[in-house]
Amino acid sequence: MNAKERILHALGRRDVPKELPAFDIGPMRFSDVGAAFSEALEAAGGETVESRETSAETIAGHFVFEGRIVDTRESVTSTTNDRNIGLLIVEAEFGVAENGAVWIDPKERYPREVLTLAENLAVVLKREAIVPTMHEAYERIDFAEISYALFMAGPSKTADIEQALVIGAHGAIGMKVFLEGEG
């Protein structure tokens, strides 16, 4: 027997399961998902910017950075090993009010690594695309279409030295979400 067979044999438990019952979680609700989202994002070290206008220029005005701007809403040429992205602009498909996370799916339109190589990250999000909790969030995702995608809540961070929070571990040091649409 190979390893797989040995393991499966040891496990048994190969019968087709009955479906799990639906859970009656009764997830929390917010009177204002936008406000809840902003508050949660702030707690995660990020920031929301109300913005009718989201041109690269306007967005760049909200950051202090060196290096170049990569706007993934336009076509991106290969940037592997690019050490010089000062600001990356991406679109998020939706946000989550309870934790300030945004769902970013590069869809292979831009390489994965720019998301973490960039010093600053600007995320453009439609205000009406904010769901209350992760339950509604996962209902929106079609996993058949995904190669790699992530929820991101604020800039990268660590507290590994004496529990002191430091913003900017390996990924973005600054992260702002630009809320588009009527407030």
Instruction: Please list every residue from 97 through 156 that binds another protein, using CB under 8 A.
Output: 98-101, 108, 111-113, 115-117, 133-135, 137-139, 141, 143-144, 146-156
- 34, 68, 80, 87 from 83: Cα distances, Å: 34, 10, 9, 12
Binds another protein by CB under 8 A, chosen from 172, 176, 177, 179: 172
Q: To the nearest whole angstrom, how small is the minimum distance from the Cβ of residue 137 to another protein?
A: 7
Residues in the chain: 183
Please tell me whether residue 25 binds another protein under the rule CB under 8 A: yes
For residue 46, give the nearest of 148, 151, 138, 136 by alpha carbon: 151
Please tell me whether residue 64 binds another protein under the rule CB under 8 A: no
From the list 15-23, 54-62, 68-76, 87-95, the region that binds another protein by CB under 8 A is 15-23
Q: Specify the residue, 41 or 54, whose C-beta has the smaller distance to another protein.
A: 41
Q: To the nearest whole angstrom, how small is the minimum distance from the Cβ of residue 179 to another protein?
A: 18
Distance CA 12, CA 19 (A): 19
- Would you state the structure tokens that stand for residue 143, as one six-digit string? 């996993």
Secondary structure class of 128 (helix, strand, coil): helix
